[in-house]
Amino acid sequence: MKKTHNAKPICIIKVGETYPESVAQTGDFEDWLIAGMRLPRDAVRVVDARDGQPLPAPTDCAGVLIGGAHAMITDDLPWMLRLAEWTRHVVTAQVPFLGICFGHQMLARAMGGSVDFHPQGREIGSVPIALHAAAGSDPLFAAMTHHFPAHAVHAQSVRRLPPGGVLLAGNDYEPHHAFRIGVCAWGLQFHPEFNPARLSVYIDRLTPALQAAGKDVAAIVAGLVETPASASLLRRFASLALAEACD
């Protein structure tokens, strides 16, 4: 696909912060996403959905990215409901959209799916991801290998895909790790913006809860690996958005 010039920014909708020690080391979620897309800062606009500032018109964005949060989407806070309505407009306008973790769940819920706590508890660590057949012709996933590792940390998950959602990837623990709805709106439950050091902070913070749930924390730490295939999805999304992939 030939890349074309696009003066519109990719809009990152901020929905939360990572832990202070991570911010001090490598910045916040939006910094990880910008670095992962390998874009200059002036090619991106960051808008915090929680503080009441107006969300951009979908058509003023080359693409939209909603990342992670420590909040639970089922809290249905007013800003979450406003963001869900806006997300529906983005999908309808066929603006390239990528939701990660909280953003993945927001996309599913906004479009008629369901989200709740995972019945087996939190998934955390470097986890295996397997693609489904539909990924072979998907613009975002077509170049991916059938199996790859990715970083995950989530307590809630998409329990039912929205009507028309196309399942792209999953694993035995979490069947809905990736899906597409419409022409170019994708949700990823895993984190392409994480690396082992960033995920280690989460494991450290959550160790008491993980141990109380019977998780082998030492094994989770020992299993952390680099995830270049997963990370490549951010660059691929930026390329698709800036190439006006939905036109």
Whether the CB-CB separation of 134 and 168 falls below 8 Å is answered with: yes
Q: Which of 11, 101, 123, 174 is catalytic?
A: 101
> Cβ atoms within 10 A of the Cβ of 27, count?
14
Q: Known catalytic residue: 147?
A: no
Burial of 172 from C-beta contacts in 10 A (0-12 / 13-18 / 19+): exposed
Q: Known catalytic residue: 193?
A: yes
Give the end-to-end CA distance of the chain in Å, rounded to a whole number.
12
Q: Known catalytic residue: 89?
A: no
Q: Which of 104, 132, 177, 191 is catalytic?
A: 191
CB-side neighbour CA atoms (13 Å) of 51: 7
CA angle 246, 134, 149 (to 5 degrees): 100
* 117 sits in which H/E element: strand 114-117
Q: Which of 30, 123, 174, 193 is catalytic?
A: 193
3-state secondary structure 226-239: CCHHHHHHHHHHHH
Whether the CB-CB separation of 74 and 108 falls below 8 Å is answered with: no
Catalytic residues: 101, 191, 193
